[in-house]
Amino acid sequence: MITADIAFILICTILVSIITPGLAFFYGGLLRRKNIISMFAMCFISIVLVGIIWVLLGYSLAFAPDLGYGLIDNFNYFGLISVDAVTNPSYSTKIPPMLFMIFQLMLAAITVAIISSPFVKRAKFISFIIFIVL
């Protein structure tokens, strides 16, 4: 059953995922013609690389319970091992964990895409990829 909370987060996830290509068009319009493809590539590679990093490590670092020291998690969610679509962890009782994970993934991807603007004319593409990974 879809509640209002789930519908709201689902709509927000879709809207945030639309922002990244929109950002590529916006930044591309501000650049010279020779740099537009580079801007598009940087915005779309941010979705791909942040998605891989978020699924493997980022979600676990951000939302897994810690070891008791408050700094390092216990890697329960590494690779989304113990995250499923039905059970509710402690951070929300109404939103499914997979939907929450995808919403946070889209926010992380748009954050990296926003930062891509200064890299277009000043840095090589491989340095931007290294920046994303770090």
Predicted pLDDT at 38: 83
Highest mean pLDDT among 33-37, 64-68, 73-77: 33-37
pLDDT higher than 80, residue 70: no
Q: What is the largest CA-CA distance in the chain?
A: 53
Half-sphere exposure of 11 (CA within 13 A, CB side): 7
pLDDT, tens digit, for every residue of 3-49? 888 899 999 999 999 988 898 888 888 888 888 888 888 888 888 99
Predicted pLDDT at 37: 85
User: What average pLDDT does the chain have?
Assistant: 82
SS3 105: helix
Predicted pLDDT at 18: 92
> Residue written as tokens 């590529």?
24
- Measured CA to CA, the distance from residue 99 to residue 83 in angstroms comes to 11
Q: DSSP 3-state helix, strand, coil percentages of the chain (rounded to 5)?
A: 70, 0, 30
User: Cα–chain-centroid distance for residue 94?
Assistant: 21
